[in-house]
Amino acid sequence: MAQSMSRSPLAPAAFPDLPVINGVRFSSAAAGVKYQGRTDVMLAQMDPGTTVAGVFTKSATRSAPVRDCQDKLGAESQVGAAILVNSGNSNAFTGHFGQTSVAEITEAVAVATGLPTSRVFTASTGVIGEPLPHNRITAKINGLVHDLNEVGIKDAAEAIMTTDTFAKGASAQIQVDGQTVSIAGIAKGSGMIAPDMATMLVYIFTDAKLADSDLQLLLAKLCNRSFNCITVDSDTSTSDSLMLCATGASGVDVKGNNDFAFALESVMLDLAHQVVRDGEGATKFVEIQVTGAVSDAEAKVHGLSIANSPLVKTAIAGEDPNWGRVVMAVGKSGAMADRDLLSISFGDVLVAEKGWVSPDYREEDAAELMKRDKIILKVDLRLGDGKATVWTCDLTHGYIEINADYRS
């Protein structure tokens, strides 16, 4: 399906040039899990000494691969690690078949790489409820191991796409005591996007050195300011997985290093924004800035209520500055608000204040702003110091077309 859809109008011009991350190699293959004529499996193998962190969907119906990864995290090891991902089938809600497929795939990767199964992580994305034809994947593993190389990350990004219209990548490099530390990441995601942990499938690699526990704490913290602040359609996937691997190949310990944390967050935000820009049927990238809430947490509740409202999102798609729908979304969120203190702006156009339309508001000003492909909505609750930013996209007929026949 991914190949049949036109590229999102919000897509970047091209896949970025990502730096080689010493200590990790990639490969991809066409296994025919669902798609024909395209790659649909990727393998990443990390050298001994690599630490691994991850955050995963909180869905009560999360997939067998997610549960397996969660069980394996936290066990320190110096023998290296591997990640195998397939697209086309999520291996979710498949009963005992799910665990069997995970076991068969992890065992095959372990044998081919010499790694213990406890250090082989898998993920699957695609249709829910259909047994994964794992034999098609295991038949490709020896070839995947043979083809591993340092520059295959773009091909890996393409192999994990489902309804995505473009492969997603981002990177950053910093200097620490004269040494270069590099970060590179890839992601897939387009629909079923309302993360409750991380998002979709995201794999980030760095040559920095950081202990498992420190890596996990940093990832979880930054996730709440990036992937947990995006939504396309309010639906949380059964397969959402975000993994961060630190090979340590640079020899630079980045514990407590603020520059590294900032660089990592920039990569995570870049990937998160690309997922929104590839939202199914999206034509507008929307940033919602909420200030003046009683807490940051309540600001985020308001932001997500606005971002997930079909009425707000369809108004944006129709380029209608219907601020009444924003008022509605704030009022229904469950977080604290006062009608007579609330102000709303579309970009720099003050639309409403103190419980009523602004006396200086001109509809044509806001209507002109709504024609842009990036829309900024600002809400000031005037109740406290809480603030949050949330990102989403509009809701168009294209979303319906993609999802009405997703399994065909």
- pLDDT tens digits, one per residue of 95-106: 889 999 999 999
pLDDT of residue 58: 79
User: Is residue 238 annotated as a catalytic residue, yes or no?
Assistant: no
List the beta strands (DSSP E) in 281-401.
Answer: 285-293, 343-346, 349-353, 356-357, 374-380, 386-393
Confidence of residue 2 (pLDDT cuts 50, 70, 90): very low
Q: Are 162 and 1 in contact (CB under 8 A)?
A: yes
Residue 316 has pLDDT above 80, yes or no: yes
Token pair of 279 as six digits:
């939202």
Confidence of residue 126 (pLDDT cuts 50, 70, 90): confident
120-124, 230-234, 319-323: least confidently modelled range = 230-234
Please return the burial class of 344, using the count of CB atoms within 10 Å of its CB with bins 0-12, 13-18 and 19+. buried
pLDDT of residue 199: 54
Quote the pTM value.
0.93
pLDDT of residue 232: 81
Residue 158 has pLDDT above 60, yes or no: yes
Confidence of residue 193 (pLDDT cuts 50, 70, 90): low
50-64, 211-225, 314-328: least confidently modelled range = 50-64
As annotated, the binding site for substrate includes 162, 188, 199, 280, 403, 408
Tell me the average pLDDT across 125-153. Answer: 96
* DSSP annotation string for 81-112: EEEEEEEEE---S-THHHHHHHHHHHHHHHHH
Q: Which residues contact 114 (CB under 8 A, 6 or more apart)?
A: none
Which CATH number fits the domain 24-275, given the four candidates 3.60.70.12, 2.160.10.10, 3.40.720.10, 2.40.340.10?
Answer: 3.60.70.12
pLDDT of residue 3: 41
Q: How far apart are CA 371 and CA 391, in angstroms?
A: 18
* Rg, C-alpha atoms of the chain: 22
More confident residue, 54 or 355: 54
Q: Are 14 and 241 in contact (CB under 8 A)?
A: no
pLDDT of residue 407: 53
Tell me the average pLDDT across 355-360. Answer: 91
- Assign a CATH topology to domain 285-405: Ubiquitin-like (UB roll) (3.10.20)
Residue 4 has pLDDT above 80, yes or no: no
More confident residue, 290 or 93: 290
- Highest mean pLDDT pick, 53-62, 192-201, 228-237, 286-295: 286-295
**C-alpha atoms less than 13 angstroms from C-alpha of 365 in its C-beta half-sphere:** 11
Q: How far apart are CA 369 and CA 387, in angstroms?
A: 24
Residue 140 has pLDDT above 60, yes or no: yes
Confidence of residue 235 (pLDDT cuts 50, 70, 90): low
Residue 405 has pLDDT above 70, yes or no: no
DSSP H/E element including 75: none
Q: Of 66, 156, 83, which Cα lies nearest the Cα of 119?
A: 83
- pLDDT over 90 percentage in the chain: 81
Residue range 9-44, pLDDT digits in tens: 999 999 999 999 999 999 999 999 998 889 999 999
Token pair of 121 as six digits:
């992580």
**Mean pLDDT of the chain, nearest integer:** 92
Tell me the average pLDDT across 224-251. Answer: 87
pLDDT of residue 61: 84
Q: How far apart are CA 18 and CA 203, in angstroms?
A: 13
Residue in 51, 125, 199, 206 annotated catalytic:
199
| CA angle 376–342–340, rounded 5-degree value | 160
As annotated, the binding site includes 162, 188, 199, 280, 403, 408
In Å, how far from its chain's centre is CA 86? 16
The string over 139-169, giving b where at least 16 C-beta atoms fall within 10 Å of a residue's C-beta and e elsewhere, is ebbeebbebbeeebbbbbbbbbbbbbbbbbb
Residue 1 has pLDDT above 70, yes or no: no
More confident residue, 111 or 279: 111
pLDDT of residue 53: 96
List the beta strands (DSSP E) in 228-355.
Answer: 241-246, 285-293, 343-346, 349-353
Confidence of residue 62 (pLDDT cuts 50, 70, 90): confident
Q: Of 41, 381, 21, which Cα lies nearest the Cα of 207?
A: 21
Token pair of 397 as six digits:
């007929």
Residue 398 has pLDDT above 90, yes or no: no
Token pair of 184 as six digits:
């590179």
Tell me the average pLDDT across 238-243. Answer: 86
Q: Tell me the domain boundaries of the chain.
A: 24-275, 285-405
